[in-house]
């Protein structure tokens, strides 16, 4: 596929994304399914081109701020001119109107390309939504703010969790000899690939020996300190990544209830459980009847709540494109309600683990403070992991070279 066809596909993808409520990876997956003639190399190039745009989203949004139509096309034009530094002539050759190329440039678009780049406000330079600035400043302060934002705009590491049910770390390394690999800094069973990416069709992944999982996410499961024979609830299990890690810690002994509001997510998770040789997980849609029947039945309840995903901007740079202040307010209410409900499942002496992939205090420390004020029968416990100690787990790409994560461990008295 020639460059002009890749550019046209990127424009089409962005137009679909802006008209949709779905995350970009879902939009892209569906687009490629409907256009199977696009080869693997071209798919990678189109995906990378799209993610470059999202990593410069606020800058491009500022440049195109007075344009209301054909946003996908203008974002691509602005990116090619002001980030990739194509000349107007080169862009005109790509936008030729030929069979697989984008339509020819209009006179308005030519004028747009002749603009000089204006001085960019800080939020556009560092690529975060303007309305989020006071929330982000509250987390990082002024001294490290710019560096933290730049790190959040970088590329994510490729981390793997070794499935202890099927292999040791050394055995996993043997299956991954084509890669340069090092141990993760904090996670006990983590490996980091230093020279590229790994395909999901790789034998080590296909056979369940390793799972692609950010080191921060692996640490959430370690915090649970589950043991063989425990009864555990993963209250917002989603795709089941943390459930898999919990099952390995429990050596397939005991019971894990993987719960979610959406049963289709659990159906997808079941495939991962089978591949990883996990057989102590019971998938359960959240229902009031089940919650009443299992009151105070679990030694560990993990509540990985829906959140803003601000800690995963490296991995999902499109998430900042549609997130607004009302979304944050709604999420904060949902998180508090989930905590109130899930705490009923913890038996006396058991632990409640709250986690997010957010960096915002409103979703993190503030939620824990409010919960402990409302439920005096819970107490905060210190966190102790390899190379990490603290009242909370708080990770950022700059400080820890992981995605942004937060977690708190609370013990039920008595």
Tokens of 32: 């490629």
Nearest to 11 by CA among 55, 49, 57: 49
Please list the ranges in the chain whose pLDDT falls under 70.
Answer: 1
Query: What is the CB neighbour count within 10 angstroms for residue 374?
Result: 12
Question: With the CA atoms of 96, 98, 102 and 108 taken in that order, what torsion angle do they form, in degrees rounded to the nearest 10?
Answer: 40
| pLDDT the model gives residue 263 | 83
Domain boundary among 120, 135, 167: 120
| pLDDT the model gives residue 208 | 93
| pLDDT the model gives residue 39 | 93
Statement to judge: residues 113 and 248 lie in one domain? no
The single-letter DSSP state of residue 412 is E
Query: What is the CB neighbour count within 10 angstroms for residue 39?
Result: 10
Is position 208 within any domain? Answer: no
Query: What is the CB neighbour count within 10 angstroms for residue 107?
Result: 7
Domain boundary among 82, 104, 120: 120
Statement to judge: residues 266 and 375 lie in one domain? yes
Q: Quote the CA–CA distance of 192 and 181 in Å, as a whole number.
A: 6
Q: Quote the CA–CA distance of 125 and 119 in Å, as a whole number.
A: 9
Statement to judge: residues 246 and 395 lie in one domain? yes
Statement to judge: residues 239 and 360 lie in one domain? yes
Q: Quote the CA–CA distance of 194 and 6 in Å, as a whole number.
A: 28
Tokens of 280: 């102590």
Is position 332 within any domain? Answer: yes
Is residue 62 within 8 Å of 120, Cβ to Cβ? yes
Is position 58 within any domain? Answer: yes
Statement to judge: residues 395 and 257 lie in one domain? yes
Is position 397 within any domain? Answer: yes
Statement to judge: residues 237 and 385 lie in one domain? yes
Distance of CA 205 to the CA centre of its chain: 19
Tokens 């793997």 belong to which residue?
160
- Distance (Å) of CA 19 to CA 12, 64, 65, 96, 369: 11, 17, 17, 25, 38
| pLDDT the model gives residue 1 | 65
> Using one digit for the tens of pLDDT, what is the confidence trace for 162-177?
999 999 999 999 999 9
- Distance (Å) of CA 309 to CA 107, 262, 263, 342, 404: 40, 19, 22, 21, 8
Is position 150 within any domain? Answer: no
Domain boundary among 72, 89, 120: 120
Phi, psi of 233 (to 5 degrees): -120, 120
pTM: 0.93
Q: Which residues pair with 304 in a beta bridge?
A: 355
Is position 179 within any domain? Answer: no
Is position 202 within any domain? Answer: no
Q: In which domain, by residue range, is 15 found?
A: 3-120
| pLDDT the model gives residue 69 | 84
| pLDDT the model gives residue 407 | 98
Statement to judge: residues 380 and 231 lie in one domain? yes
Total domains in the chain come to 2
Is residue 210 within 8 Å of 172, Cβ to Cβ? yes
Residue 251 is part of a domain; what is its CATH number? Answer: 3.40.50.150
Nearest to 128 by CA among 311, 306, 304, 305: 311
Q: Quote the CA–CA distance of 373 and 137 in Å, as a whole number.
A: 26
């Amino acid at each position: 596929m020639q460059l002009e066809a890749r550019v046209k596909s990127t424009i089409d993808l962005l137009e679909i994304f802006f008209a949709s409520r779905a995350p970009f990876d879902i939009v892209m997956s569906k687009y490629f399914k409907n256009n199977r003639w696009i080869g693997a190399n071209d798919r990678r190039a189109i995906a990378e081109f799209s993610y470059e745009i999202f990593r410069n989203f606020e800058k491009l949004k500022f440049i195109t701020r007075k344009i209301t139509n054909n946003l996908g096309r203008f974002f691509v034009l602005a990116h090619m001119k002001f980030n990739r530094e194509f000349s107007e002539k080169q862009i005109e050759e790509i936008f030729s109107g030929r069979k697989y190329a984008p339509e020819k440039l209009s006179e308005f678009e030519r004028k747009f390309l002749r603009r000089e780049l204006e001085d960019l406000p800080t939020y556009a330079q560092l690529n975060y939504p303007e309305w989020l600035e006071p929330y982000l400043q509250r987390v990082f302060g002024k001294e490290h703010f710019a560096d933290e934002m730049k790190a959040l705009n970088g590329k994510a590491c490729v981390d793997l969790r070794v499935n202890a049910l099927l292999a040791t770390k050394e055995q996993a390394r043997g299956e991954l000899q084509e890669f340069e690999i090092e141990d993760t800094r904090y996670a006990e069973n983590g490996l980091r690939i230093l020279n590229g990416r790994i395909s999901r069709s790789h034998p080590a992944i296909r056979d369940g020996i390793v799972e692609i999982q950010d080191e921060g996410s692996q640490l959430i499961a370690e915090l649970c300190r589950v043991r063989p024979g425990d009864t555990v609830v993963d209250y917002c299990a989603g795709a089941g990544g943390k459930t898999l890690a919990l099952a390995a810690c429990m050596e397939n002994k005991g019971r894990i209830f993987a719960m979610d509001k959406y049963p289709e997510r659990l159906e997808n998770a079941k495939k991962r459980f089978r591949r990883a040789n996990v057989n102590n997980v019971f998938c359960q849609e959240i229902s009031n009847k089940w919650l009443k029947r299992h009151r105070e039945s679990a030694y560990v309840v993990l509540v990985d709540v829906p959140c803003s995903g601000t800690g995963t901007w490296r991995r999902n740079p499109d998430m900042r494109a549609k997130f607004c202040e009302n979304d944050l307010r709604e999420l904060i209410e949902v998180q508090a309600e989930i905590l109130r409900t899930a705490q009923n499942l913890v038996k006396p002496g058991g632990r409640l683990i709250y986690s997010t992939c957010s960096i915002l205090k409103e979703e993190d420390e503030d939620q824990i403070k409010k919960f402990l004020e409302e439920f005096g029968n819970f107490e905060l416990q210190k966190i102790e992991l390899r190379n990490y100690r603290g009242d909370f787990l708080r990770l950022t790409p700059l400080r820890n070279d992981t995605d942004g994560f937060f977690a708190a461990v609370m013990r039920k008295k008595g």
